Amino acid sequence: MQSVLTSLIAVMGTLFGASLTYIFQSRASRRAERFARDERLRQERLTVYSSYAGAVFDLRRKNADQWAARVEGSSDSLAYKEARAAKTTSRVAAYEGLARVMLVTDDEQVIDLARAALELTRGLYKAESAEELDLRQKGIRQALQTFVEAAAAHVR
């Protein structure tokens, strides 16, 4: 009888140990999966936010190129038409970047700041003077800086 009781206790101990091991391993696995998912999202956000800022800076530069072509020639010149086409391509990339920002975050402040920076580029090429152009470009730079600071909280 004693050997049966000893065997029963050994089997119960083994089952209890295996059950505890399973519980702890599944918890560790879920934590590892959650960490990996969070890290992928952090990396995706970092890529999206930085490429969006780059796209808006590029759009700002293309607007300035269009402004320069308008000031140096006319709106019928080849240089102006090429600058306008380049700006249009850049604007599409910036709007695509905005859509990606909206997809990777649910923070309305980040989305609003991204929209605000892009909105400031609208009509930049129509500036009446170099001083106005420079002032508006500084406004875009500041808007992007504010966006980046708010977005940075999501990638730290």
Over residues 98-142, the pLDDT tens digits come to: 999 999 999 999 999 999 999 999 999 999 999 999 999 999 999
pTM, two decimal places: 0.81
| Within a domain: 17 | no
Is residue 9 included in any domain, yes or no?
Answer: no
The answer as to whether 63 is a domain residue is yes
Domain span at residue 107 reads: 40-152
Q: Vertex 152, ends 149 and 156: CA angle to 5°?
A: 145
Tokens for 62, please give them.
Answer: 């293309």
Mean per-residue pLDDT pooled into runs of 10, the chain (156 residues): 80 82 86 90 95 98 95 86 96 98 96 98 94 97 97 89
Per-residue pLDDT at 4: 78
Residue 23: inside a domain, yes or no? no
Specify the pLDDT at position 52. 98
Q: For residue 138, is it within any domain?
A: yes
Tell me the two tokens of residue 35: 């960490």
Structural domain contains residue 4: no
**What is the number of structural domains in the chain?**
1
Domain presence at residue 108: yes
Give dist(CA 53, CA 28) in Å, integer.
37
Helix axes 2-72, 108-120, angle to 10 degrees: 20
CATH no. for residue 69? 1.20.120
User: What amino acid is encoded at 104 in this protein?
Assistant: V
Within a domain: 14: no
